[in-house]
């Protein structure tokens, strides 16, 4: 099968070829929701027996990206008889006329070394990406400027087909030759060497990336320093770091993530306060004397001229400090709690004691007696619409009976296998489901996840322009997929201004979720 611009592959409209290699192609594409993505299509036949390894690498990486926004996001992984493919965030474009993927390699080729004002931020983002991958128990194995992709101006680590578990045994060395430690290039026992030093190989490759970013040179020229590169901070600090990571003697290198993180922090400290003790004294004098004492002197002069306003401003300042003081994160352990059990849905949760559980009977009584409730009639109408759509229970703060609440929907039969459905189709289905009850929606995120060991679908959306209720509502749905025929949903509904706080409480409650055996004739408790 050959691909061309304008052709459709698994509901993806291919727009422009971004790159090709011996085993596959990368295309800029548009999905059925009109969102621009990148898709990598890999030929199983060309990879031979190794196609399963690369596919598993992609699946492993996607599991990591679900926990953080600091990595290149993978949206969908699929396969057919001849190819497997995965969609991901598309890189920024270096050109306004034609799409030219913005990579670190492209920037270095076009403009030479990274500007000093952006060097520190870019290298820190790359390091943080490596840190997340390693802490998840994996190694990337192909870190290089070609695989550093800029998305919304932020560097992200891409091309993740070679990713592997740090604990796994592999039989083949992988990666780009110039970014591999010398002992791995010449090893007679790649399995043993790689098993011991895969993490160290990523650190070595990062050292070469640092060298390329600082000098603009090719990695094989390491450790040569061009005469045009000024040996001044921060360049000399990062060149020194590159030497520590890529020393020809493995015993003298930085061997662990902790050691590298310490050196990165030291560079930040030196850039902020100076390298020597004398530099730090000078920095203190420039900041403390000029800013602290100088500001104090000017403040005293101002108070002397405006003595009547001084006390009022001092009080306002103290009050602002008190109001801005960070509040303690929500902790369920600090709350008086009780157990919520729903035998019909087959779940139990621990909820704060002040939260009220509203049953269908309660809804109906509130709707019938709207004149005597504190809720506006339009809110009651939306409660009725929610009830009719299948929600059985609303768990809410007694002071917030409408917006800031959790809804529980009992098991429902479905003819569609949502577990295997592509994310693009799930996004479209969610929009269609909301539209079927007269609510327009904006879907922010749809992803498959695991909730307490069960397959689940997470939907983050805003509902608005309802004929019955005009204001927007932010929702976060966890739809548990026990089997293709049996499922239920737990939903957070909140105002935009309270969403983050309520989401924190919602996630704390979800951690207490337990699954019960379903009964034939369940009784709501």
Reported confidence tier of residue 172, pLDDT bands at 50, 70, 90: low
Q: Over 80: is that where the pLDDT of 380 sits?
A: no
CATH number, domain containing residue 24: 3.30.200.20
For residues 53 and 68, the answer to whether their CB atoms sit within 8 Å is no
Asked whether residue 261 falls in the same domain as residue 139, the answer is: yes
Q: At 512, list the tokens.
A: 């207490």
- Of 90, 117, 136, the last residue of a domain is 90
Q: What is the mean pLDDT of residues 163-168?
A: 72
Q: Over 70: is that where the pLDDT of 190 sits?
A: no
- What percentage of the chain carries pLDDT values higher than 90? 24
Q: What is the mean pLDDT of residues 91-105?
A: 89
Looking at residue 521, its pLDDT comes to: 38
Cis ω before 223 (30° cut-off from 0): yes
| Side-chain half-sphere exposure of 130, counting CA atoms within 13 A | 28
Whether 452 maps to a domain, the answer reads yes
Asked whether residue 406 falls in the same domain as residue 368, the answer is: yes
Looking at residue 468, its pLDDT comes to: 47
pLDDT digits (tens, 9 = 90+) for 314-364: 788 888 888 777 777 788 888 889 999 988 788 899 999 888 888 777 767
For residues 523 and 464, the answer to whether their CB atoms sit within 8 Å is no
Q: What is the mean pLDDT of residues 51-76?
A: 82
Looking at residue 50, its pLDDT comes to: 76
Asked whether residue 484 falls in the same domain as residue 375, the answer is: yes
Whether 489 maps to a domain, the answer reads yes
The radius of gyration computed from the CA coordinates of the chain, to the nearest angstrom, equals: 29
Whether 523 maps to a domain, the answer reads no
d(CA 9, CA 314) in angstroms, rounded, equals 65
Structural element, H or E, at residue 14 = strand 12-20
Asked whether residue 82 falls in the same domain as residue 162, the answer is: no
Reported confidence tier of residue 502, pLDDT bands at 50, 70, 90: confident
Reported confidence tier of residue 13, pLDDT bands at 50, 70, 90: very high
Looking at residue 350, its pLDDT comes to: 93
Whether 240 maps to a domain, the answer reads yes
For residues 46 and 22, the answer to whether their CB atoms sit within 8 Å is yes
- Of 275, 296, 314, the last residue of a domain is 275
CATH number, domain containing residue 458: 3.40.1000.10
d(CA 357, CA 350) in angstroms, rounded, equals 12
Looking at residue 96, its pLDDT comes to: 82
Q: Over 60: is that where the pLDDT of 171 sits?
A: no
Reported confidence tier of residue 372, pLDDT bands at 50, 70, 90: low
For residues 371 and 461, the answer to whether their CB atoms sit within 8 Å is no
51-65 vs 116-135: helix axis angle to the nearest 10? 110
Q: At 33, list the tokens.
A: 């929701």
**Structural domain count of the chain:** 4
Looking at the DSSP bridge assignments, the partners of residue 150 are: 155
Asked whether residue 104 falls in the same domain as residue 5, the answer is: no
Cα distances (angstroms) measured from residue 224 to each of 19, 75, 180, 204? 30, 41, 18, 17
Whether 470 maps to a domain, the answer reads yes
Looking at residue 523, its pLDDT comes to: 37
Mean pLDDT of the chain: 81
Whether 112 maps to a domain, the answer reads yes
Q: What is the mean pLDDT of residues 13-29?
A: 88
Q: What is the mean pLDDT of residues 262-288?
A: 76
Torsion of CA 361, 362, 367, 368, to 10 degrees: 70
pTM for the full predicted model? 0.55
Asked whether residue 374 falls in the same domain as residue 252, the answer is: no
Q: What is the mean pLDDT of residues 124-135?
A: 91
Asked whether residue 259 falls in the same domain as residue 221, the answer is: yes
Asked whether residue 292 falls in the same domain as residue 376, the answer is: no
For residue 141, give the nearest of 165, 174, 108 by alpha carbon: 174
For residues 116 and 215, the answer to whether their CB atoms sit within 8 Å is no
Looking at residue 310, its pLDDT comes to: 66
- What percentage of the chain carries pLDDT values higher than 70? 80
Asked whether residue 304 falls in the same domain as residue 244, the answer is: no
- Of 288, 305, 324, the last residue of a domain is 324
Question: Is 244 or 520 the better-scoring residue by pLDDT?
Answer: 244
Residue 350 CB-density burial (10 A; 0-12 exposed, 13-18 middle, 19+ buried): middle
Asked whether residue 350 falls in the same domain as residue 309, the answer is: no
Asked whether residue 212 falls in the same domain as residue 150, the answer is: yes
Q: Write the DSSP symbol of residue 50.
A: G
For residues 229 and 235, the answer to whether their CB atoms sit within 8 Å is yes
Looking at residue 395, its pLDDT comes to: 87
What is the strand order of the sheet 8-9 is part of? 8-9, 12-20, 24-30, 36-43, 83-88, 74-79
pLDDT digits (tens, 9 = 90+) for 193-249: 455 567 888 999 999 999 999 999 999 999 898 888 887 888 889 999 999 999 988
- Largest pairwise CA distance in the chain: 84
Quote the domain boundaries for residue 242: 96-275
Looking at residue 371, its pLDDT comes to: 54
- What residues have CB less than 8 Å from 152, skipping those under 6 apart? 92
- What residues have CB less than 8 Å from 378, skipping those under 6 apart? 468, 469, 470
Question: Is 413 or 149 the better-scoring residue by pLDDT?
Answer: 149
For residues 455 and 467, the answer to whether their CB atoms sit within 8 Å is no
Question: Is 6 or 521 the better-scoring residue by pLDDT?
Answer: 6
Q: Indicate the range of 312-326, 370-384, 452-466 predicted with least confidence.
A: 370-384
Q: At 353, list the tokens.
A: 């004691």
Looking at residue 386, its pLDDT comes to: 65
CATH number, domain containing residue 126: 1.10.510.10
Whether 520 maps to a domain, the answer reads no
Asked whether residue 106 falls in the same domain as residue 133, the answer is: yes
Question: Is 487 or 137 the better-scoring residue by pLDDT?
Answer: 137
d(CA 10, CA 77) in angstroms, rounded, equals 11
Whether 525 maps to a domain, the answer reads no
Reported confidence tier of residue 522, pLDDT bands at 50, 70, 90: very low
pLDDT digits (tens, 9 = 90+) for 392-431: 888 887 666 666 788 888 776 666 777 788 888 888 888 8
Q: Over 80: is that where the pLDDT of 439 sits?
A: no
Residue 145 CB-density burial (10 A; 0-12 exposed, 13-18 middle, 19+ buried): buried
Looking at residue 188, its pLDDT comes to: 53
């Amino acid at each position: 099968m050959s691909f061309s611009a304008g052709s459709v592959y698994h509901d993806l409209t291919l727009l422009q070829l971004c790159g090709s290699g011996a085993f596959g192609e990368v295309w800029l594409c548009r999905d059925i929701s009109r969102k621009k993505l990148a898709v990598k299509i890999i030929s199983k036949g060309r990879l031979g027996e190794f196609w399963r390894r690369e596919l598993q690498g992609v699946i492993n990486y996607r599991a990591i990206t679900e926990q953080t926004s600091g990595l290149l996001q993978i949206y969908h992984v699929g396969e057919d008889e001849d190819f497997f493919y995965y969609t991901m965030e598309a890189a920024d474009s270096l050109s306004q006329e034609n799409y030219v993927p913005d990579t670190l390699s492209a920037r270095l080729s076009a403009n030479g070394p990274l500007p000093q004002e952006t060097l520190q931020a870019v290298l820190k983002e790359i390091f943080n990406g490596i840190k997340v991958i390693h802490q998840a128990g994996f190694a990337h194995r192909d870190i290089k400027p070609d695989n550093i992709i800029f998305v919304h101006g932020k560097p992200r680590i891409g091309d993740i087909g070679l990713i592997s578990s740090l604990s796994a045994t592999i039989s083949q060395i992988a990666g780009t030759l110039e970014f591999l430690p010398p002992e791995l290039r010449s090893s007679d026992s790649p399995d043993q060497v790689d098993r011991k030093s895969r993490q160290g190989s990523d650190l070595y490759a990062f050292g070469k990336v640092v060298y390329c970013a600082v000098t603009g040179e090719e990695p094989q020229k390491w450790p040569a320093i061009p005469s045009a590169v000024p040996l001044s901070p921060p360049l000399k600090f990062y060149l020194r770091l590159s030497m520590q990571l890529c020393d020809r003697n493995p015993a003298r290198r930085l061997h662990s993530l902790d050691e590298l993180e310490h050196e990165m922090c030291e560079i930040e400290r030196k850039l902020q306060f100076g390298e020597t003790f004398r530099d730090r004294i000078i920095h203190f004098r420039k900041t403390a004397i000029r800013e602290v004492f100088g500001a104090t002197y000017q403040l005293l002069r101002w108070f002397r001229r405006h003595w009547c306003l001084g006390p009022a401003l001092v009080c306002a300042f103290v009050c602002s400090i008190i109001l801005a003081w960070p509040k303690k994160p929500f902790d369920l352990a600090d709350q008086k709690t009780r157990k919520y059990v729903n035998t019909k849905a087959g779940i139990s949760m621990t909820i704060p004691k002040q939260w009220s559980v509203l049953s269908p009977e309660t809804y109906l009584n509130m709707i019938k007696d709207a004149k005597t409730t504190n809720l506006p009639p339009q809110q009651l109408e939306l409660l009725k619409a929610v009830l009719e759509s299948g929600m059985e229970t609303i768990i809410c703060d007694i002071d917030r009976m409408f917006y800031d609440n959790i809804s529980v929907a009992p098991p429902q039969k479905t003819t569609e296998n949502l577990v295997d459905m592509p994310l693009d189709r799930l996004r479209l289905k969610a929009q269609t489901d909301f539209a079927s009850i007269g609510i327009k929606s904006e879907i922010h995120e749809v992803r498959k996840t695991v909730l307490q060991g069960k397959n689940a679908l997470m939907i983050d959306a805003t509902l608005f322009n309802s004929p019955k209720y005009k204001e927007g509502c932010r929702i976060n749905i966890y739809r548990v997929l026990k089997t293709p025929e049996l499922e239920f949903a737990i939903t957070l509904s909140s105002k935009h201004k309270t969403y983050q706080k309520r989401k924190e409480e919602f996630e704390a409650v979800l951690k207490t979720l337990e699954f019960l055996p379903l009964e034939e004739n369940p009784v709501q408790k």
